[in-house]
Amino acid sequence: MKLLEEKILAEGKAVNENILKVDSFINHQVDPMLMEQLGAELASHFKDSGVTKVVTIESSGIAPALMTAKALGVPMIILKKEPSKVLNENLFQTVVTSYTKGTSYELTLSQDFISEADHVLIIDDFLANGEAATGAIRLLHKANATIAGLGVLIEKSFQPGRQKLEAQGIDVYALARIARLEKDLIEFY
């Protein structure tokens, strides 16, 4: 999507070959008008997929997931990374390791908000190695829900996430695909 690519070039910062900072409009400060447009584009791509719910992992995926859910007219579910004092019964859980951050966390989904009748669209800010998306898919499969696809704002196409997910039969749609990333260099696919 040209609009997102232009925003990345104007405001994004390539720190090194793995890190792209987009904190001025996606994951620290959020540009709501941009998110609305990105959500509409993601919803348009998946509009005929029978999506019943949109799921994201807290926290950077919340804005685009909410706008996508709004455009599709379906609820959004936030998968939690941190244990909750009140959300502690009837849970699906799985461990996910973040390649970028080098940490692991327990991803949690309440059984109260998902069922085998749901056909779920996963939305996230980035796709790199596919670990977060794979964890979300594991949780949704525990609930016997089906996966409509994965929509991401930015894909690091030089990393294996897309291949891992497509090998599982997941429809992957990225609004901006980065072919190469180096300090102060961003090249799109």
CATH code of 77's domain: 3.40.50.2020
The response to whether 156 counts as a known ligand-binding position is yes
The response to whether 130 counts as a known ligand-binding position is yes
Within a domain: 15: no
* Model confidence pLDDT, tens digit, residues 148-171: 999 999 999 999 999 999 999 999
Structure tokens belonging to residue 50: 């029978």
Within a domain: 18: no
Within a domain: 21: no
Within a domain: 154: yes
- Statement: residue 39 has pLDDT above 90: yes
The response to whether 131 counts as a known ligand-binding position is yes
Structural domain of 172: 35-177
Rounded Cα distance, 111 and 102, in Å: 28
The response to whether 7 counts as a known ligand-binding position is no
Within a domain: 183: no
- Using alpha carbons, list the distances in angstroms from residue 148 to 53, 62, 66, 83, 145: 9, 18, 16, 27, 10
Within a domain: 188: no
The response to whether 53 counts as a known ligand-binding position is no
* Model confidence pLDDT, tens digit, residues 109-135: 999 999 999 999 999 999 999 999 999
Within a domain: 23: no
The response to whether 90 counts as a known ligand-binding position is no
Q: Please report the pLDDT score of residue 87 as a whole number.
A: 60
- Statement: residue 100 has pLDDT above 70: no
Which residue do the tokens 């405001």 mark? 11
Residues 6+ apart with CB under 8 A from 141: none
> In total, how many domains does the chain have?
1
Within a domain: 98: yes
